[in-house]
Structure 1
Amino acid sequence: MSFILNIETATKNCSVSIAKNGETILCKEIAEEGYSHAEKLHVFIEEIIAEAKISVQDLDAIAVSQGPGSYTGLRIGVSAAKGLCFALNIPLIAVDTLQTLASQAKVSDGKIIPMLDARRMEVYSEIFNANLEIEREIQAEVIDENSFAAFTETIYFVGDCAEKCKQVLTKENFVFLEDIKYPSASAMSKISFDKYQKSDTVDVAYFEPYYLKDFMMAPPSKK
């Protein structure tokens, strides 16, 4: 029997789950415009462990969303995960944020394309088949009316880009699953357990989130 704590902070959704043998038993999450990760994450971790009626010593591993996504959100999640792994001497598992997002689409055919907002018309995207096998690796791309035009099967889009992308992605075989907006730690459970069973872990000391793009700080506004 194994307990894994899953942490997802790559987007506006601050999400934590406890999984037992790959099945989510509890999940706490909140998505706010102001990014409440710094205030909520450690509270959620403490609460969910207490509600699961286990202790941190019962945890076998920590899984964290590795990105791409929000620079600040990823830093907060990875820092928390590393701290717990160091303290408990347990392995750290890195989970592809877009894979977590894609796994929330329960479809039996076509392709799943998770997309996360990278400002303006740019997105972070990846392409999966209905079995969640990767068909194209993660990349940052600018979306226009020609994007994904080569596909003839049904394409299911998930993520927080529906509002801006459905204006240009208008082919009849394009379907936006708008209720799947953010990745959730609940959906990490099976992925992280599979990695745990294969000993697919990362070095706690040297692991860094996958930002995909360099962090750019906006210059201060002139008065």
Structure 2
Amino acid sequence: MRVLGIDSATSTASVALVENGQVLAEGLYPPHFCEKATDNPGAKSNHAEIILPLIDSVLRQARIELAYVDGIAVSIGPGSFTGVRIGVSTAKGLAYGAAIPTVGISTLHANAARVSDFDGVLCSLLDARKNEVYAALFRKNGKLLNRITDDVVVPVPKILKVLSAVKVAEPCLFVGDGAMACRALVENLGGPRVNIVAEKEMSSVAMAVARLSEGRFHDNDVPLLRKLTPVYLRRPGCESYGKILSY
């Protein structure tokens, strides 16, 4: 089946069209050749303006009209508050207009699913600002990716507490733009078993969102569109109200 993956919850907005796991077309903003997405301070604020043209560009690349897309998958957070809302509302608008089934995928799950050629623990981290990160742990074994912890928001100095859920001896890879905020702590762990993967070495979040959704569509695990809602973990400008590790 053909799935249109959409992500605007992270600093690099992305759209990907995937058919049976194979990428037909992909678009990113800002593109991967930027040293890092945060080098463009207007990136997040421009997501509202860029996401629909990005979708149109991807469909044109693949020479496929929206009517011939079988499903839409969107990252539902946690992530940028504005970005999450943009992605979810865009996906729902397209779904309503074209009667396409739509599912939501955790942004942290999709972030972890971008990693290939690695077996061990993946610490998926996204920058939540205010010296906090969104975090979740996953264990990868071949093509299998299993969740270890729920999505949480945690102060950067407490990120090592998240790792207490896994064995110290396991290889651990930190992935996502939040990994840079924790670089000093990660480097202090030392040893060859702990590393940070560079953003430019991975595929887009939208591609991972689309691929993760394929099993959901196959199992008909598709919610009512009105129940597709963002996951924030905290209110904009307020204290965290979702699952938080404060210790």
User: What is the TM-score with the length of structure 2 in the denominator?
Assistant: 0.81
**Quick one: distance in 2 between partners of 1:62 and 1:120?**
32
1:177 partnered with 2:197: yes
Question: 1:188 matched to which residue of 2?
Answer: 209
> 1:83 is matched by which residue type in structure 2?
G
2:78 is aligned, of 56, 65, 68, to: 68
> 1:60 is matched by which residue type in structure 2?
D
Contact (CA 8 Å) 1:162, 1:178: kept in 2 or not?
no
Contact (CA 8 Å) 2:14, 2:205: kept in 1 or not?
yes
3-state SS of paired residue (1:54): coil
3-state SS of paired residue (1:132): strand
Higher helix proportion (structure 1 or 2) = 2
List aligned pairs for 1:43-58, cutoff 5 A: 43-58=53-68
Question: 2:170 matched to which residue of 1?
Answer: 153
Contact (CA 8 Å) 2:135, 2:152: kept in 1 or not?
yes
Post-superposition offset of 1:71: 0.6
List aligned pairs for 1:1-223, cutoff 5 A: 2-31=1-30, 32-34=40-42, 35=44, 36-130=46-140, 131-144=144-157, 146-147=160-161, 148=163, 151-169=168-186, 170-171=188-189, 172=191, 173-179=193-199, 184-216=205-237
Deviant stretches of 4+, over 6 Å? none
3-state SS of paired residue (1:57): helix
**Quick one: distance in 2 between partners of 1:119 and 1:182?**
24
Post-superposition offset of 1:86: 0.6
3-state SS of paired residue (2:150): strand
**Quick one: distance in 2 between partners of 1:182 and 1:51?**
18
**Quick one: distance in 1 between partners of 2:108 and 2:116?**
15
Contact (CA 8 Å) 1:121, 1:165: kept in 2 or not?
no
The total of aligned residue pairs comes to 216
> 2:147 is matched by which residue type in structure 1?
I
**Quick one: distance in 1 between partners of 2:157 and 2:136?**
16
| Change in CA separation of 1:108 and 1:47 when aligned onto 2, cut-off 3 Å | closer
Post-superposition offset of 1:189: 2.7
Post-superposition offset of 1:162: 2.9
3-state SS of paired residue (1:168): helix
Contact (CA 8 Å) 1:26, 1:52: kept in 2 or not?
yes
Give % identity. 30
Contact (CA 8 Å) 2:115, 2:202: kept in 1 or not?
no
3-state SS of paired residue (1:15): strand
- Deviation string, structure 1 residues 155-181 (Cα, Å, up to 9, x no partner): 100011233212122212321112368
3-state SS of paired residue (2:148): strand
- Deviation string, structure 1 residues 114-158 (Cα, Å, up to 9, x no partner): 100112431111110013100111111123374325622111000
**Quick one: distance in 2 between partners of 1:120 and 1:81?**
29
- Taking only aligned residues, the RMSD between alpha carbons, in angstroms, comes to 2.0
Unaligned runs of 5+ in 2: 31-39, 239-247
Post-superposition offset of 1:182: 8.8
Contact (CA 8 Å) 1:158, 1:181: kept in 2 or not?
no
User: What is the TM-score with the length of structure 1 in the denominator?
Assistant: 0.89
